[in-house]
Chains A and B, each alone.
Chain A
Amino acid sequence: MVENISYLAQEFLDTPLKAEVRNLDFYYGSFHALKKINMLVADKRVTALIGPSGCGKTTLLRCFNRMHDLYPGNRYEGQIAVDEVNILGRQVDPIEVRMRISMVFQKPNPFPKSIYENVAYGLRVRGETRRNLIDEKVEKSLRGAALWEEVKDRLSASAYDLSGGQQQRLCIARALVSEPEIILFDEPTSALDPIATNSIEKLIGLIKEQVSILIVTHSMQQAARISDYTAFMYLGELVEFGRTQHMFSQPENQQTKDYISGRFG
């Protein structure tokens, strides 16, 4: 189990520290879902969360944008410090957290509105009404999600006219529009075919030049392909955290080794 690693940050990470999970416990009612998690998120890098089903990786991801606040009976203990401020603190508004840390979900979930309105919503939600500013940012986000060329002539078409892979890229564009500091990906390719998966993975490689990325994935190959750091979780605990290359070649923990070599999970 990974203990306090904060002092290691400098030698661990090749870029500045963006966020740090400190002794995080999480409870769904009386169920202890996350146990004393300690982890680092490097700025402008991809950090992958892997582990067998039910290990708590999605639960941990959803702590980062306070998604658990939406349902009664959930409780956090410990901290997630983003730029040294604990975003789990009572005085921090979850809406502010969600504007700074956006999320892409497992199944593409565009709003049943036009392509344009899907992306623009991140600006409208703040009361933005300046038409040309919205136009500009929608285009920028769609370009950022490598979708602009495909949809520029049909921005007013329904988002549901797009293919699954395009819908997921639309969701990425939607996540980009508020210019977040971190983007959370919750198994973004599990509902997609290999070609769409490939394009999303490439996209993540491009986006990480601007934002920090945290991705939950079921596929170890995916983690190995796209992430710079990997955290392996098991039964609500963080078993091992380190550079992806190092972790996949010489895992230090026996459980990590077993999982990566496909012996369980």
Chain B
Amino acid sequence: MVAENLQTLRGEINQRKLINNLFAIVGLIIILVSILILLALVLQLVINGWSRITPEFFTSFPSRRASRAGILSAWVGTSLVMLVTAFFAVPLGIASGVYLEEYARKNWFSALIEINVTNLAGVPSIIYGLLALGVFVYQFNLGESILAAGLTLALLILPVVIVTTREALRAIPNSLREAAYAMGASKWQMIWDHILPYSFGSILTGIIIGLSRAIGETAPVITIGALTFIAFLPDSPITSEFPFISFAWLKAPFTLMPIQMFNWVSRPEPEFEVNAAAAGTVLLFMTLTMNGLAIFLRYRFRRGIKW
């Protein structure tokens, strides 16, 4: 190449590299700004609420006096509702995902179901609340109970679990399916012995992402009539008499962390603002712990599994 041409070529390359670097810098700045804003919000919440996060805060019922109010009924309610949600959403979601991905014939009907499931994930949560109010509370007569709330939130996260299960299954290479079939496995054996264990890490991630969404939901649970002020705990699931396990708690009224927060924020006294910030910090911590668990479990299950 002639030296003159080489000069222009270099000039051109430098210009293209400049545009490349420019984008990298702009992108970095945008990310830093959004992270900073998020961090500031979280920090403010934590700083505001920190003084109230004491052991008593976790063991006290709500009270009219801000200094004596706690989140006992809220965190117990949230935990129990999450338990019910997971109990229904996980098996149903995984089973539906497996059926749609591995068993269902690919035709217009399954395509229709697929589109619907994906769309359900985007339906506003209050719609689920209204549906649940009609079906669970009135039709099935479950009342404003933990069971009704758990079922509502299960419905809400079911699409998330189904979609992530399908994606996890789809990520397993077909060569492993064929390997299992070639050994004489039935379809169920192929799924149970191979595909599910190999994709379990990703499915688990989907479940936890779904549960982290459910844990912060307020609208649908208020719609079905969750109380905002509860000064007692649901019945204990363990009893002293045979059969030692009681399901009475399922029918108990309840409150949840976000509802408790909402209740405190709407009070005029500024002391309750501090309580709300503290409850927010706890809720944030719960969600972060769940996400951390998801990352850890995914790492554990994927270790040694690669293709």
Partner of B175, one of A95, A102, A105, A126: A105
Residues of A within 8 A of B189 (CB): 125
Partner of A122, one of B175, B183, B307: B183
Residues of A within 8 A of B177 (CB): 70
A52-60, A106-114, A134-142, A202-210: which lies at the interface: A106-114
* Proximity string of chain B (69-97) to chain A, C-beta cutoff 8 Å, 1 when within and 0 when not: 00000000000000000000000000000
**Contact between B179 and A67, CB atoms less than 8 A apart:** no
Let me know if A174 is at the binding interface, CB within 8 A.
yes
Let me know if A65 is at the binding interface, CB within 8 A.
yes
Let me know if A160 is at the binding interface, CB within 8 A.
yes
For the complex, what is the distance from the CA of A125 to the CA of B175, rounded to whole Å? Answer: 18
**Contact between B184 and A67, CB atoms less than 8 A apart:** no
**Contact between B184 and A99, CB atoms less than 8 A apart:** yes
Contact count A vs B, C-beta below 8 Å? 66
Let me know if B178 is at the binding interface, CB within 8 A.
yes
Residues of A within 8 A of B298 (CB): none
For the complex, what is the distance from the CA of A201 to the CA of B19, rounded to whole Å? Answer: 54
**Contact between B193 and A102, CB atoms less than 8 A apart:** no
Residues of A within 8 A of B180 (CB): 111, 121
Q: Which range holds the interface residue count of chain B?
A: 20 to 34
**Contact between A109 and B179, CB atoms less than 8 A apart:** yes
**Contact between A158 and B184, CB atoms less than 8 A apart:** no
Let me know if B251 is at the binding interface, CB within 8 A.
no
**Contact between A174 and B306, CB atoms less than 8 A apart:** no
**Contact between A111 and B184, CB atoms less than 8 A apart:** no
Partner of A98, one of B106, B182, B198: B182
Residues of B within 8 A of A178 (CB): 183-184
**Contact between A98 and B183, CB atoms less than 8 A apart:** yes
* Proximity string of chain B (152-185) to chain A, C-beta cutoff 8 Å, 1 when within and 0 when not: 0000000000000000000001011111111111
For the complex, what is the distance from the CA of A111 to the CA of B193, rounded to whole Å? Answer: 10
Partner of B181, one of A98, A107, A112: A98
Let me know if B105 is at the binding interface, CB within 8 A.
yes
Let me know if A103 is at the binding interface, CB within 8 A.
yes
**Contact between B185 and A125, CB atoms less than 8 A apart:** yes
For the complex, what is the distance from the CA of A99 to the CA of B173, rounded to whole Å? Answer: 22
Let me know if A29 is at the binding interface, CB within 8 A.
no
**Contact between A102 and B182, CB atoms less than 8 A apart:** yes
Known: A107-B175, A109-B179, A122-B184. 9 other contacts (CB 8 A): A105-B175, A110-B179, A111-B176, A111-B180, A112-B176, A112-B198, A122-B183, A160-B304, A174-B179
- Residues on A lying within 8 angstroms of B by beta carbon are 65, 67, 70, 72, 95-96, 98-99, 102-103, 105, 107, 109-112, 121-122, 124-126, 158, 160, 171, 174-175, 178
Q: Return 28 A-B CB contacts under 8 Å, by A number.
A: A65-B182, A70-B177, A72-B105, A95-B184, A95-B185, A96-B184, A98-B182, A105-B179, A107-B175, A109-B173, A109-B175, A109-B178, A110-B179, A111-B180, A111-B194, A112-B176, A112-B306, A112-B307, A121-B183, A121-B193, A122-B183, A125-B185, A125-B193, A126-B184, A160-B304, A174-B179, A174-B183, A178-B184
